[in-house]
Amino acid sequence: MKPRTLLLAACIALPLHAPAAQLMSAPISVATPQESASLVAKLTALDARPGLSADYSFRISSQHPGVVGQKITRAQHTYKGLRVFGSESVVVTNARGDIVSVAASDRRPGLQPQATTPGGVAPPPSPAAPLPTPAELTPVLSADDAIRAAVQAIAPAGTHRWPPSAELLIYPLMKNVRSSAASNKPDDQLNALDLQEVVERYELAYLVQLRMAQDGKLVYYDVVVSARNGAIIAKWPALQTVTGIGHSQYNGQVPISTSATAGGFQMLDSARGSGGKFGAMAITNANHSSPNNPDPGSVYSNATNTWGDGLQYNGGSTTNANGQTAAVNALWGLMNTYDTNKNVLGWQSLDGNNTATYIAAHVGTAYDNAFYDDRCKCMYIGDGNSFTSLGAIDVIGHEMSHGVTAATADLIYAGESGGLNESNSDIGGEVVEAYARNGGTGNSVPAAGNDWMMGKEISKSGQPLRWMYKPSKDGRSPDAWSSALKNLDVHYSSGPNNRMFYFLAQGSSADPASDYHSPFLVRAPAAMSGIGSDKAYRIWFKALTTKFTSSTNYADARNKVLLAAQELYGTTSKEAIAVQRAYAAINVGADIDEADGGGEAVERIVNGGFENGATGWSGSTGVIGANPAQPPYEGARYAWLGGNGRRATETLRQQVAIPAAATSAQLSFALHIDTAETSNTVYDTLTVTVRNAGGGTVLATLATYTNLTPAGGYQIRSFDLLPFKGQNVTLSFAMREDRSKQTSFVLDKVSLLTK
């Protein structure tokens, strides 16, 4: 229960600045069982709702570095000891083990998630899917039965390249619920934020992972098999591919990092990565090993340290100068992929923990493919037939980025999340290409050097596999989100997010005839401004590693990328505005205005960080102050509404004027919520409203937060108040607590910027 002596004398206001981009920390040590148990206990306490006892818990699945001084942990949600598929929390902790932030996708039985769209209109209440009964959680089939059913459905004549696995879990079957505002919209007019995914029902199932080969092709599938009757509930491909002084084929003479041996040199780069199959980053000679079951072979060796002839492989020896060229392509690409992420972000190798990977060249004969295999955390490259050798720089950056995804968000390779998985790899490929083409040095992503076309160099026709700036040029990828996106192959559902990233980095065109134009950009200026590849990549990577979960879809991605931009550069920064516009350009969220003619933003809130005590605020100003029991978001002070553990009402208000000539009016604030409530019932609330100048009439309710929505650390909330331009209005934060068990709503950094 909080003390009631928070209001202190006014002090000198501290200058508040958006935090600068930080490097990721060095590789981390794996948490001890005691540390993992402590984090699980903290998460359980943070999310104390009914049933979160022995029935509900968390299972630590992976850990990787955060920014310096922080660690990122992924915790799967469990119910009665079984993992709930696609339900998890991404937890950022500091050096003391304190929780800094939590991003989650909560699909646990009985805990229907709330709408998460910042400033959006919540969908109508939807009852939680029924809890599975004990009988429904008792499998009828064994794991072996499930594997047999999956094999029969996918590749009955295939052979296993890797041993199959079957995990018993709870599988949520999802449906879309429309927001109230979109209840009568035609399907072809829906925006991604008009829909929210909710659980329709649960199935006890096995997740069967098949890594097979059949008829000369790799058949990698994840299959969800009913544990009750063996029915196939869902399936999706799991092979992540780009279908469709060394002398490099695509890059001229390039420096490559090799190691000396007793007999000469080998393609083993001990300066990048450690451990793994070969002890360091390596290029091996698969020597036409069958794609059915490719053998990486041994590390490339040579009597001298000059490699390759720079020409397309002619089908002869894989070890002479011509055969070495594919290996040169691979090593140069792998070196630049490693260096891009390490030098720009501080991220080491694929997993952030500097675990070495390798690439096997010359897979198959005239094999038109390159693929990443997460079982070996490695890449295989074919020599091409319809294509030339598939070791171009953007292709390698693409495939290695699948390894980063697998180590972090592990986006499910189906539906919208699968499209985002592929898009992350296309983004990685273009960023690595830009970095490599500009010398492969420096701590930022160059503004130019890549072509924004995936796989153009390997194409014999000159037509790329994908166009980032205009995905529909391939005849199959859409330029914008639609409700049908989840039904496409992931190589095509990636298209809209690829376009979003291009617009975020490079901006758009106002010319409707241009390939760089979006009809969804309807605010000013018609041509949105880009923020450059460096900032765009930092924002995207932060969202991927600290906020995305395996089931993140386009709407969730937009919200989390926006939050990453706000955390890196400021709530109403040009970078945050660009994120909103870039997603609006692909029909995900509404468009907003940029700075009016380049004019500066004007802050309309007085003392939004509460550093000057009650100045500017009216109502329950005794909640303003500082106390070690609650940390501030910035500075030294905040407003602690609630936390009483008894019946209480507390309100903070401030009257503001929004100019009639305003072209933008963005309200934002940082909010932290913690609670001692243990019921799945709303008892304590914080309601944010816009009222008339006198404060009596409610003009709009922006949001209501409750004891059911606690969060580790502060969350940035933002709203568009442009509809109130030309008015004097009152912003109101009103808290109500019931008779017992506290809920704290800690408010900081309130801002209303107009342009």
pLDDT tens for each residue of 670-688: 999 999 988 778 899 999 9
> Cα separation of 334 and 350, whole Å?
11
What is the reported pLDDT for 94?
A: 86
What pLDDT score does 267 carry? Answer: 95
Q: Is 491 a catalytic residue?
A: yes
Q: Is the pLDDT of residue 69 over 50?
A: yes
Give per-residue pLDDT as tens, 295-321: 999 999 999 999 999 999 999 999 999
Separation CA 744–CA 51 (nearest Å): 22
The pTM (predicted TM-score) of the whole model is: 0.82
CA atoms 254, 255, 260, 266: torsion sign: negative
The band of 263, judged by pLDDT with boundaries at 50, 70 and 90, is: confident
- pLDDT higher than threshold 80 for residue 187: yes
Backbone angles phi, psi at 554, to 5 degrees: -65, -45
Q: Is 215 helix (H, G, I), strand (E, B) or coil?
A: coil
Average pLDDT value for residue range 24-49: 84
Q: What beta strand segments (E) does 541-603 contain?
A: 602-603
Catalytic residue from among 402, 491, 517, 672: 491
Distances (CA, A) of 213 to 151, 216, 383, 490: 11, 7, 19, 21
- Which has more pLDDT, 282 or 117? 282
Burial of 325 (0-12, 13-18, 19+ CB in 10 A): buried
Least confident of 27-41, 480-494, 597-611, 739-753: 597-611
399 labelled catalytic: yes
> What is the rounded distance in angstroms from the CA atom of residue 571 to the CA atom of residue 667?
9
Q: Rounded mean pLDDT of the chain?
A: 89
- Count other Cβ atoms within 10 Å, centred on residue 489: 16
The residue-averaged pLDDT of 418-425 equals 97
2 pLDDT band, cuts 50/70/90, is low
Query: Which stretch of 46-60, 116-130, 595-609, 659-673 has the lowest confidence by average pLDDT?
Result: 116-130
Q: Is the pLDDT of residue 75 over 50?
A: yes
Q: How far is CA 181 from CA 3, 257, 461, 480, 654, in A?
A: 42, 58, 47, 21, 29
The phi, psi pair for 327, rounded to 5°, reads: -70, -35
- Whether the pLDDT of residue 12 is over 50: the answer is no
User: Count of residues for the chain?
Assistant: 755
Q: How far is CA 104 from CA 36, 402, 659, 672, 712, in A?
A: 18, 21, 38, 15, 11
Phi and psi of 331, rounded to 5°?
A: -65, -45
Write down all domains in the chain, each with its CATH number in brackets.
Answer: 33-105 (3.10.450.490), 143-238 (no CATH), 246-407 (3.10.170.10), 609-754 (2.60.120.260)
Least confident residue range of 43-52, 253-262, 409-418, 622-631: 43-52
The Cα 253–Cα 245 span in angstroms is: 6
Average pLDDT over residues 104-114: 76
- Residue tagged active-site, from 399, 430, 567, 650: 399
Rounded to whole angstroms, the Cα distance separating 358 from 400 reads: 10
Give me the amino acid identity at 709: T
Point out which residues pair with 737 in neighbouring strands.
648
- Range in 512-521, 536-545, 570-579 the model is least confident about: 570-579
Beta strand 358-363 with 378-382: parallel, antiparallel or unpaired? Answer: parallel
Query: What angle do helix axes 415-437 and 495-506 make, rounded to 10 degrees?
Result: 40
Weakest-pLDDT range from 80-94, 114-128, 473-487, 728-742: 114-128
Distances (CA, A) of 127 to 88, 121, 158, 663: 21, 18, 43, 40
Mean pLDDT of 450-471: 94
Name 69's Cβ contacts closer than 8 Å, sequence gap at least 6: 25, 94, 95
The average pLDDT across 647-670 equals 92
**Which of 304-313, 689-698, 705-714 bottoms out in mean pLDDT, i.e. has the lowest?**
705-714
Q: Is the dihedral of CA 510, 511, 516, 521 positive or negative?
A: positive
Q: Quickly state the pLDDT bin for 48 (edges 50, 70, 90).
A: low
Give the distance from CA 548 to its chain's centroid: 3
Residue 8 confidence class, pLDDT cut points 50, 70, 90: very low
CA dist 438 → 67, 254, 271, 392, 446 (Å): 26, 12, 21, 16, 7
CB-CB neighbours of 315 under 10 Å: 12
Distance from C-alpha of 432 to C-alpha of 393, rounded to nearest angstrom: 7
Instruction: Give the list of residues 6+ apart from residue 473 with CB closer than 8 angstroms, or none.
Output: 467, 515
| Helix, strand, coil percentages, rounded to 5, for the chain | 25, 30, 45
Mean pLDDT value of segment 167-191: 90
Average pLDDT over residues 198-210: 95
